[in-house]
Structure 1
């Protein structure tokens, strides 16, 4: 059963991402993605660590909304905030540099943050398998799969179930 803290976190994520949409043809509400990431961890990976599940809900909140790390820490504590900080890209950097840093940083993050990254990549790749985002070429879509594999390769040894599911996607794309 979900705790009051978890439900407060879910509501906060929903409120912060309420106006955002994914770039798929259906313009899916963005909050579905963060809920998917937390659900993948709880249901598919067997993660019971509530701080990890809460950080999964918040993994894009500082990067993509007006929320700050201070807000996250004040509302959900230092542990959740630390995890969110580990998985947040620095939006002041150019996109290619952020992607390069994500590959490099992946192996140096804590195992709890690696779980969030694996689930995030799994949800994004599942979506990309069936949807090409609006404005993306097929080349850009394929390049995302290649880049995601580089990130995942630096997260290996974290969770066998998630890694097996990611490897299945990479096999289907001839990346393994």
Structure 2
């Protein structure tokens, strides 16, 4: 059975993360920053955008990721791509390492080049991307456009699943996901 992740809001998720209080305070800052930038944005199925960011964070905590910069990058991974926030603003607020991780997972105009570039990403950036895509595809059947479901399935199998080869948990999860959504191939 496919394990799914659901995060509704930060006050509910925060106490469930079992992280040191100092790390939670650093995540508070990232969540506040991302919430401010994503403001009223919603996902294709209508849920608040920040839920996706919190799901990616939940996934990383579930796979025992403890590096706070990686966790903050998961919360911030779409802020440059989907808002007017700049990478310089991320770096100024969260430092160069978080900004570098966000930069690795920020899509460029050339989608294929971006997907190829991910093959060379540092392990922490790959983890952020895997958690991001897991959140995006775990309920792929709720996307309102069937054609997008099929193309996103194919892209995930072709370009994202290989990123999971060095991480047994993600490798197993995506294998189960592929079987669950095989009707989209």
TM-score normalized by the length of structure 1: 0.86
* Displacement of 1:127: 2.4
> Residues of 1 paired with 2:123 and 2:74: CA distance?
13
Instruction: Say yes or no: does 1:19 pair with 2:65.
Output: no
> Residues of 1 paired with 2:64 and 2:171: CA distance?
13
| Long gaps (5+) in structure 1 | none
| Long gaps (5+) in structure 2 | 1-19
> Residues of 1 paired with 2:73 and 2:166: CA distance?
17
Q: Corresponding residue for 2:168?
A: 160
Structure 1 residue aligned with 2:122, among 110, 121, 134?
110
Task: Say which is worse superposed, 53-62 or 100-109, in terms of deviation.
Answer: 100-109
CA contact (8 A) 1:59 1:88 kept: yes
> Residues of 1 paired with 2:158 and 2:114: CA distance?
9
Q: Which has the higher helix share?
A: 2
Q: Corresponding residue for 1:38?
A: 57
TM-score normalized by the length of structure 2: 0.82
Task: Tell me the C-alpha RMSD between the 2 structures.
Answer: 1.7
Q: Corresponding residue for 1:140?
A: 148
> Residues of 1 paired with 2:130 and 2:163: CA distance?
7
Q: Corresponding residue for 2:140?
A: 128
Instruction: Say yes or no: does 1:170 pair with 2:182.
Output: no
